């Protein structure tokens, strides 16, 4: 072997050792850098003319198990979904309150507890039906239920609106990841073409891929040219030769009626294609499910409670009447003109103290239209009319007189139909179409009209001037109590099966349903956190930096470096001796 070859071998070994020492030092420095993987130098022998002439560093790489990475990507997507679901359902559970009392004597905060307070107020009123203060307490208790229904409904819609806004911000984050991956694809190809290492860039790309997967489920592969290509579940490209960003416009107003299926929420689009239904995991997948399914289900349950409560309370309040009686009654229900009913209703003109002025017992079976019925009611101190929307109004024609109704045997639309006053909504206690607008009738809440707990005398005949209204009737108050505590049929709603029971029990079932979902979400989060951590730890063990190993590696490389340096010194000495011998000879 010539001295030149020996020196070349020593220099190549020195250079290789130096590069590997620098690489090990870089590994140590980046040990805590997120997404960084341990880098190793690819070293090979240099052979010239069949003779080994040294070593060369041919590349820098990191050994990433592609199957393990794919498992980690999937687990990251599942964890992103579980995190969001747990967070939102925890907020929903707090919104619905709890049914149990705390150790410090504080009662539960749920609708079930508020309904129980209403039951207690009615029980107190039943003992003294004419008490103005106890009637006011009942009105306040009903208003507390109404306020809680509205607040809870509003809270659900706020959660949906927040989810919708989070979808929008998440789409922005997705687009940032998509652009970064496309840019890294370009850089990796450029560096590879120039013979430069690309391992660090690949780490950055894998980190961006993991971040993207935390927002949505994706499929991906690396093609023969080194490009990482990413697609939605059905194959819509997100990254191929270019970045294909998503578009989304959040809703400006979210109500219980707002839905994706009806166009209330826009679709998430890529290249003009709606991919909303393709996003089933990750943060965005969970937000879509919460916004469009989970939270609307809770709203449906709340609406079922509100609608049945309204129906039951108004059915009872329409059996009663107010004292002093109102000068005008206007129905809350918009009804068709076609009319079919059986039985008799009593409508009376009554003075402010409850004394009879005049009355009519009307056989409802004689009428086939509301217009004809209104004409029959008019006369003897009364006038009745129907507006264009189908609302019946009855007015006392003499100042100071009022109107009282006893539904008697009336039944509209069949033998089990609502009574006359209930059908038209003439003495409703509460208004609204669902939980979002459930409210005590304005004039009753303001104190301008009393609670309709009086009853018009049902005797076969009445005499003008006689007292036909009492200040309060235990019959009506007890009917309110029975409506709350008796068996009410509730339709299937929001995942709850159809059932029969009290309002407090149904409210408790809603709270329990939400609590169960929150508990399941917490359990799911724990499981997904464990799964993701397992894959992440496996990835770290395989590709992460072990400081002790790197230090030992540097120590061994330093020995190699010293040996190569000593060899160079020996070769140089031999070369100098040879030159001196040649010169002296």
pLDDT tens string 423-472: 999 999 999 999 999 999 999 999 999 999 999 999 999 999 999 998 77
Together in a domain, 19 and 36: yes
pLDDT of residue 15 exceeding 70, the answer is: no
Q: Of the given ranges (90-94, 395-399, 496-500, 532-536), which has the lowest mean pLDDT?
A: 532-536
| Residue found by looking up tokens 């939605």 in the block | 232
Together in a domain, 406 and 268: no
Q: What is the residue-averaged pLDDT of the chain?
A: 88
Q: Mind giving me the DSSP string for 115-130?
A: HHHHHHHHHHHHHSTT
Contact between 307 and 405 (Cβ < 8 Å): no
Hey, what's the torsion of the CAs at 227, 231, 236, 242, to 10 degrees?
A: -30
Q: Does residue 528 lie within any of the structural domains?
A: no
Residue numbers of the domain that contains 327 = 321-472
Structure confidence at residue 459 (pLDDT): 95
Together in a domain, 167 and 21: no
Instruction: Show which of 261, 295, 329 is a domain's final residue.
Output: 295
Residue of 34 and 303 predicted with greater confidence: 303
Give the span between the Cα atoms of 78 and 502, in whole angstroms: 40
What is the pLDDT confidence band of residue 63, given thresholds at 50, 70 and 90? low
Together in a domain, 455 and 376: yes
Q: Does residue 99 lie within any of the structural domains?
A: no
Q: Mind giving me the DSSP string for 286-298?
A: HHHHIIIIIHHHH
Mean pLDDT for the stretch of residues 398-418? 94
Instruction: Write phi, then psi, for 260 (nearest 5 degrees).
Output: -70, -40
What is the pLDDT confidence band of residue 502, given thresholds at 50, 70 and 90? very high
Together in a domain, 250 and 337: no
Q: Does residue 308 lie within any of the structural domains?
A: no
- Dmax of the chain from CA atoms? 157
Instruction: State how many domains the chain has.
Output: 3
pLDDT of residue 210 exceeding 70, the answer is: yes
Give the span between the Cα atoms of 201 and 60, in whole angstroms: 12
Together in a domain, 57 and 72: no
Structure confidence at residue 71 (pLDDT): 92
Together in a domain, 427 and 551: no
CA dihedral sign of residues 444, 448, 450, 456: negative
Question: Considering only CA atoms, which of 382, 89, 33 is closest in space to residue 203?
Answer: 33
Q: Does residue 240 lie within any of the structural domains?
A: yes
Give the span between the Cα atoms of 64 and 541, in whole angstroms: 11
Give the span between the Cα atoms of 550 and 528, in whole angstroms: 32
Hey, what's the torsion of the CAs at 368, 373, 375, 379, to 10 degrees?
A: 150
């Amino acid at each position: 072997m010539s001295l030149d070859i020996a020196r070349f071998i020593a220099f190549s070994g020195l250079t290789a050792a130096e590069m590997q020492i620098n690489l090990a030092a870089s590994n140590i420095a980046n040990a805590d850098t997120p997404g960084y993987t341990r880098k190793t130098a690819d070293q090979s022998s240099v052979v010239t003319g069949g003779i080994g002439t040294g070593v060369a560093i041919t590349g820098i790489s990191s050994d990433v198990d592609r199957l393990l990475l794919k498992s980690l990507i999937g687990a990251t997507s599942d964890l992103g979904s579980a995190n969001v679901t747990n967070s939102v359902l925890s907020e929903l559970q707090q919104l619905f309150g709890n049914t149990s009392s705390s150790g410090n004597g504080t009662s539960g905060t749920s609708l079930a507890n508020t309904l129980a307070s209403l039951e207690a107020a009615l029980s107190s009123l039943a003992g003294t039906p004419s008490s103005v203060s106890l009637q006011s307490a009942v009105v306040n208790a009903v208003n507390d239920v109404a306020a809680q229904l509205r607040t809870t409904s509003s809270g659900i819609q706020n959660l949906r609106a927040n989810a919708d806004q989070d979808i929008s911000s998440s789409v922005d984050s997705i687009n940032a990841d998509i652009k970064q991956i496309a840019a890294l694809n370009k850089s990796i190809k450029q560096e590879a073409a120039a013979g430069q290492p690309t391992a660090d860039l690949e780490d950055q790309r894998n980190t961006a891929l993991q971040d993207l997967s935390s927002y949505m489920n994706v499929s991906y592969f690396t093609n023969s040219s080194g490009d990482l290509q990413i697609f939605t579940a059905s194959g819509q490209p997100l990254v191929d030769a270019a970045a294909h960003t998503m578009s989304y416009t959040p809703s400006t107003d979210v109500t219980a009626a707002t839905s994706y299926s009806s166009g209330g929420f826009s679709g998430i689009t890529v290249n003009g294609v709606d991919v909303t239904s393709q996003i089933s995991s990750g943060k965005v997948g969970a937000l879509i499910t919460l916004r469009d399914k989970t939270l609307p289900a809770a709203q449906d349950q709340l609406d079922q409670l509100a609608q049945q409560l309204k129906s039951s309370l108004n059915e009872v309040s329409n059996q009663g009447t107010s004292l002093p009686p109102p000068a005008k009654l206007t129905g809350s229900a918009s009804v068709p003109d076609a009319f079919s009913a059986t039985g008799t209703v009593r409508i009376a003109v009554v003075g402010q103290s409850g004394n009879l002025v005049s009355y009519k017992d009307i056989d409802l079976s004689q009428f086939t239209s509301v217009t004809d019925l209104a004409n029959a009611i008019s006369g003897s101190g009364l006038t009745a009319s129907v507006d264009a929307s189908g609302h019946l109004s009855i007015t006392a024609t003499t100042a100071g007189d009022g109107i009282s109704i006893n539904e008697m045997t009336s039944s509209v639309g069949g033998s089990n139909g609502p009574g006359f006053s209930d059908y038209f909504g003439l003495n409703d206690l509460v208004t609204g179409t669902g939980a979002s607008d459930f409210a005590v009738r304005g004039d009753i809440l303001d104190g301008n009209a009393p609670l309709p707990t009086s009853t018009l005398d049902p005797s076969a005949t009445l005499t003008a001037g006689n007292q036909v209204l009492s200040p309060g009737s235990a019959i009506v108050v007890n009917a309110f109590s029975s409506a709350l505590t008796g068996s009410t049929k509730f339709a299937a709603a929001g995942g709850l099966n159809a059932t029969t029971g009290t309002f407090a029990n149904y409210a408790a079932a809603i709270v329990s349903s939400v609590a169960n979902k929150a508990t399941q979400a917490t359990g799911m989060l724990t499981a997904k956190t464990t799964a993701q951590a397992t894959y992440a730890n496996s990835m770290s063990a395989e590709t992460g930096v072990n400081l002790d190993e790197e230090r030992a590696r540097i120590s061994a490389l330093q020995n190699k470096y010293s040996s190569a340096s000593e060899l160079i010194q020996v070769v140089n000495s031999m070369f100098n001796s040879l030159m001196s011998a040649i010169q002296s000879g």
